Structure 1
């Protein structure tokens, strides 16, 4: 699926007519109460012609000289397989994504959709190959939610039920929207309005994923999209552990009441999610787009 703009009008790829934006971010991850190993992983890196430069859990950087990529993955599988699957997925992506700069350096416009789909296919095969080599890793798999900021656009990809949210202020009103989709039939019914949020959260097949990276499946079909962000936009990337403890209204409220920094927003979301549930691993990255002074 390749919609240029899943929700916002006029949000296809554009040419920049302003100074590249600055991105602020904060990342958090905590193991769930029902097991000692955290199967979630997160990744933040700057990408340019020289490759990937891994970023700290907190920071602020301009998009002037490089792209910025942020991702969350929830691993699945017995033993430590889930933990290894999510890490392998993100580590492999950090080596593949910078290849777009080689395309640009050659004078061609990168095919971001095609590049992301190819990258996910490569990671999918790598996870399956790793599982075939070790019986203890049989069935290892992972979800993915990835946000790729270029000076022109945000490109996003998701597989499974890790999510990306956008919060945008518009004329004294604010709106929080989920930009990705959960690859479950229960979410489809919720998205179509056939069931309400309470029914979705208690649905017996809420976590039954029909798309994951790995798991021995022959192929994976990620959801990819692109739209133009703007200064003031804020984002949340998270694993399903966060959603276990937060309803949609709680996420909107956190965005609306934690305006000073991505750090305060991340702490607010994490604290409330863990307090309300906390049984599953919980991982999030909060992001804010700032205008760069020229």
Structure 2
């Protein structure tokens, strides 16, 4: 009966990051700079991998896809958040909210699987170097990336379709800075147990599957590194894996904290902080983590700059 008294939802209102006027300009400048760095770092990395023949390897193929996903899912969140920061009323249409949630789910889920594919690539490179070209052929690499995007599409379709069955009565105020499942469940007027169950099942499956692959890969890598006779080889392998592992830990911990607990108004503030890390900070850090400490990328960048300067 409650559904009959609900008017048709046309828009939601975000509470945003803060209501303190003094903090808004500071946060706007901070997150605008972060978004610009995210776009610049990832797009430069994609372009560099494309134009540098020495970077046409499976590892950099996965890295270019990771950068593309970082640009996409950061752009799904950051522009709207930046527009809302100085605004008194932060509104988004119902269709816009579902669209934002859909594309965010596609890109974030695909990124989890690309990170897992990168762990598998490192395992093959370190544990089975002589068979690397066989195990990581162009067809295998394309299949792994295509599977990552398909997983993202499936996850997004399920959650977006499940949201359409919910009814929303006033006040339609979302305690977040973007549309996501848990904050929407809090303001829904109908039973959200199915939605929460689907989110727990799908997010849990995605994280367990990719975590299992990553942990298995790194266990095998640790065994292979332990058998290496060269100290230089061990250092190189550990350096490469440490960068990937750092990005994985940040992304997975924040994602698990946000999605693998019950949705309630009391937990949304802490979830909001976690969301800032994996929607805004992590996409900026990834190109730094994977390129600034990578000699091959540095060499390709310096060669590219020398060629442009010469011409």
**Bigger helix fraction:** 2
Q: Same fold (TM over 0.5)?
A: no
Look at both structures and tell me which one has the larger radius of gyration over its CA atoms: 2
Tell me the TM-score normalized by structure 1. 0.30
Tell me the TM-score normalized by structure 2. 0.29
**Bigger strand fraction:** 1
